[in-house]
Structure 1
Amino acid sequence: MRYMMTYDLMEAARNTNQWMGASALSLASYPIFSMIPNPALNWMSAWGEVTERTFARMVTKPDWGIRTFTCKDGKDHLVNIETVVERPFGDLIHFSVPGREDTGRKVLLVAPMSGHYATLLRSTVKSLLVDCEVYITDWHNARDIPVSAGKFDIEDYTLYLVDFLRKMGPDTHVIAICQPAPLTLAATAYLAEQDPEAQPRSLILIGGPVDPDATPTEVTDFGRRVNMGQLEKTMIQRVGFKHSGVGRLVYPGLLQLASFMSMNAERHGSAFKDQILRVSRGEASDHDAHNRFYDEYLAVMDMTAEFYLSTVERVFKDREIARNEFVVDGHKVDIGKITNVAVMTVEGAKDDISAPGQCIAALDLCNGLPDSKKASHLEPGAGHYGIFAGKSWRDNIRPLVLDFFDANSGKSSGVRRKKPANSNVAAK
């Protein structure tokens, strides 16, 4: 019961803050107060508006917001979001654009399960829709999954990816972003041994901790500073009665969000203070830069306890994938068995979550892959978010990714883009 009480206590604190914000907004906006203008009331109203929105977003799954798409024919086409594979802990969804010509590129985006929804990759999806048929893993919030659905750890996660890749077929290009990079590499190696015909054409790993010890950061080194008993006692809670997953042991999204915010507390505090001032002056809008970012950033989901704990223990502490000792469903995966799938790594020079060196370690593990099928790119000046959703992604990395697809698709799209001047993509 202790774990359930602490879970509900966090939810009660969130709910109280949301209520306080709504109350302050309502009180300060009472019509009679407009007879005597008072700057304090404007500030109170602005504080209430920002506070209510902030705490309400923490329990709301964002919408994809991708409804139409202008194709090369100049026509607007509807974007249908279709569920291709439906599973208890995550679905494979497809952004279908009816009526447009075949793009020749089928892409699976493997979204991270690290506290945020797959919608965190919305801008990545939109940028790839221009030239690709896009699929993505849509992981579910553990608090909404009944205990009867069973467990879900990193082995189950890997097997989900295996099933998704089998469903999509061999002409698939895969992009794994951040947390799933090592597990996607393992899933590809698993297919290389168990079902070679289902292997993807290419695999691009972006900012993932394949070898966390290569260049430790505050995030990846966390597992070294605590033992598993401490981690389970301090981080794991049991879902409260309000949700469908009542009784399930989870690593709460609100706890993860607190960790995210504490890493850059001064920057986040300044951002919210500035937003309150903008609202009080009437300079803010519902979809301004602050709201667009924080509506997504604050929306968090719970992870199953077994997934969180097995990730820390097996990926970060024991480095099973980095040592090529990872076992899935009783089968020891050998990453060296990858011989046909082209592998590319992308890292950001200023990535403070998965620093340069952690992701490129995948290329050394692929010792059965010829050098001609290996590539790497280090993006100068880019942080973690920028390498898959920011300016660096749009201007430099995305063109390189599309070229890598074409070079390893067995057929040419007929379009070759000029490489950016700061590109250092090269065979390893």
Structure 2
Amino acid sequence: MLYTLYEAGYYASTPLRSATRLVRDFWGSPLNPAKDTDLARRIFAGADLAANLTRRYGRPAWGIDHVEIDGQPVRVRPTEVWSSPWVKLTHFARDMADMRRAGRRALEPAVLIVAPLSGHYATLLRGTVQAFLQDHEVFISEWSNARDVSILDGRFDMDDYIDHVRQMLQQMGPRPHVVAVCQPGPAVLAAAALMSEDEDPSRPATMTFMGSPIDARLSPTVTNKLAEEKPFAWFASNMIYTVPPPYPGVGRRVYPGFVQLYGFISMNVEKHQEAHRRYLLQLMEGDGDSAEKHLEFYDEYLSVLDLTEEFYLQTVDVVFQRYLLPKGELTHRGRPVRPEAIHDVGLLTVEGEHDDISGVGQTQAAHALCSGLPAALKEDYVQPHVGHYGVFNGRRFREEIYPRVRAFIARGEMGFDSQELAA
């Protein structure tokens, strides 16, 4: 019922939204001789803010058409290389002629970035992709919005998620590298364990976990405590709704993205209010550059997707309430998941000192679980002065975290040091 009311509210506000757009376009038009007056800027700013607050935010574009490598621009083309109803595997193909001009002639390591399936689109990792494109063939998982998947395509749960991670790795050929950003950590570790036990030729050469809840019992955050304090039945009763028409997934039970977004905003209401107040002042003062940065952030932040009922509830149950992976009790389609079976996959964990989503220690827990790995294949790093987002985006990620990840992947590509492994 809530989903239907949400949609009804959106369509009911259409006349207001249309009116604010007309006002904004009139006072912002270069043909309006009063455009640059103080009054015009004030009216334009108010109308623009109202239009942005009431509009629908869809899947953002990647906006990556080139990357700079060794001072040379290299053209980039996102290409779909594999898909299912639930995910699209995108390869950011770099132009080979440009690569040769940049002095890169040999094949570079293939890296699968597993994006979170936790409410936002994969484009949240735009900065992550741009960094990795400097030295790697980059692939990323673009998860589908559950409301756009027909109920005829069936369920999608944690087992399906693990299967999809494994299938994407297999599409990339022998021994690719995998980077799990936040939420996918447990599923990626499970997939690596199953592939290692099966001696799958496409098992990763290295796996990097960034701010992942491998063991959510450690350094619990507000998010972790909420999952612990509420009984499982509360999540099933209060967080799940039915997709209404006209969406392709009509009738599917989902955890709506707008519900999660409301939860995120309610945790920092004053911060968001202040950000929009600054945006209004910037428009009134004619500070277009600062206003554009605000829009870029909120275009991404307010773009959300729905999760299937079964995937969301299993994540709450398995990862945040019963902690099955760190307790050695996780199974995949009835088969035990054994991280200790991983014996030749490099393991790097990265955490942020001020992470308020996955506390310090939650990602490091992967090292104890992967007891079959020699110390030479393990590395841990805690980045000072960053929160959750800073683990995979921003200046410190580019300048301090990414170089460590790049070096670790390079070691894995070379097979690590044989003397260290023997020791």
Task: Work out whether the TM-score is over 0.5.
Answer: yes
Structure 1 Cα separation of the partners of residues 291 and 115 of structure 2: 24
Which of 4, 10, 17 is residue 8 of structure 1 equivalent to?
A: 4
Given that residues 189 and 333 in structure 1 are in contact (C-alpha distance below 8 angstroms), is that contact kept between their aligned partners in structure 2?
Answer: yes
1:362 matches 2:366 = yes
TM norm structure 1: 0.89
Residue correspondence of structure 1 range 34-73 to structure 2 within 5 A: 42-58=41-57, 60-72=58-70
Query: Which consecutive residues of structure 1, in runs of 5 or more, have no partner in the other structure?
Result: 413-428
Higher mean C-alpha deviation, range 12-21 or range 246-255: 12-21
TM norm structure 2: 0.90
Shift, 1:38, TM fit: 9.1
Residue correspondence of structure 1 range 6-405 to structure 2 within 5 A: 6-16=2-12, 19-27=15-23, 42-58=41-57, 60-72=58-70, 74=72, 76-99=73-96, 100=99, 101-285=105-289, 288-405=292-409
Question: Structure 1 residues 378 and 19 mapped into 2: Cα distance closer, same or farther (>3 Å)?
Answer: farther
What residue number does 1:415 align with? Answer: none
Question: Structure 1 residues 177 and 102 mapped into 2: Cα distance closer, same or farther (>3 Å)?
Answer: same
Shift, 1:181, TM fit: 0.8
Structure 1 Cα separation of the partners of residues 44 and 341 of structure 2: 61
Structure 1 Cα separation of the partners of residues 123 and 157 of structure 2: 22
Given that residues 18 and 51 in structure 1 are in contact (C-alpha distance below 8 angstroms), is that contact kept between their aligned partners in structure 2?
Answer: no
Shift, 1:48, TM fit: 2.2
Shift, 1:185, TM fit: 0.6
Shift, 1:382, TM fit: 0.6
Question: Structure 1 residues 340 and 176 mapped into 2: Cα distance closer, same or farther (>3 Å)?
Answer: same
Q: Deviations over 1:152-185 (max 9, x none)?
A: 0111101100111112123311110000011111
User: What SS is found at the alignment partner of 1:79?
Assistant: strand
Structure 2 Cα separation of the partners of residues 39 and 236 of structure 1: 47
Structure 1 Cα separation of the partners of residues 35 and 134 of structure 2: 53
Given that residues 81 and 93 in structure 1 are in contact (C-alpha distance below 8 angstroms), is that contact kept between their aligned partners in structure 2?
Answer: yes
Equivalent residue letter for 1:359: T
Shift, 1:91, TM fit: 1.5
Structure 2 Cα separation of the partners of residues 28 and 104 of structure 1: 48
Structure 2 Cα separation of the partners of residues 73 and 272 of structure 1: 37
Equivalent residue letter for 1:97: R
Structure 2 Cα separation of the partners of residues 319 and 132 of structure 1: 34
Structure 1 Cα separation of the partners of residues 291 and 130 of structure 2: 18
Q: Deviations over 1:301-329 (max 9, x none)?
A: 11111111000011111101111211111
Structure 1 Cα separation of the partners of residues 276 and 71 of structure 2: 43
Question: Structure 1 residues 16 and 380 mapped into 2: Cα distance closer, same or farther (>3 Å)?
Answer: farther
Equivalent residue letter for 2:79: E
Q: Deviations over 1:259-312 (max 9, x none)?
A: 111121111110011101211222235972111111111111111111110000
Shift, 1:70, TM fit: 4.0
Structure 2 Cα separation of the partners of residues 154 and 44 of structure 1: 49
Question: Structure 1 residues 38 and 166 mapped into 2: Cα distance closer, same or farther (>3 Å)?
Answer: closer
Question: Structure 1 residues 336 and 19 mapped into 2: Cα distance closer, same or farther (>3 Å)?
Answer: farther
Query: Which consecutive residues of structure 2, in runs of 5 or more, have no partner in the other structure?
Result: 100-104, 417-423
Given that residues 109 and 135 in structure 1 are in contact (C-alpha distance below 8 angstroms), is that contact kept between their aligned partners in structure 2?
Answer: yes
Q: Identity of paired residues, percent?
A: 36
Structure 2 Cα separation of the partners of residues 86 and 97 of structure 1: 20
Question: Structure 1 residues 19 and 49 mapped into 2: Cα distance closer, same or farther (>3 Å)?
Answer: farther
Given that residues 110 and 174 in structure 1 are in contact (C-alpha distance below 8 angstroms), is that contact kept between their aligned partners in structure 2?
Answer: yes
Shift, 1:21, TM fit: 4.4
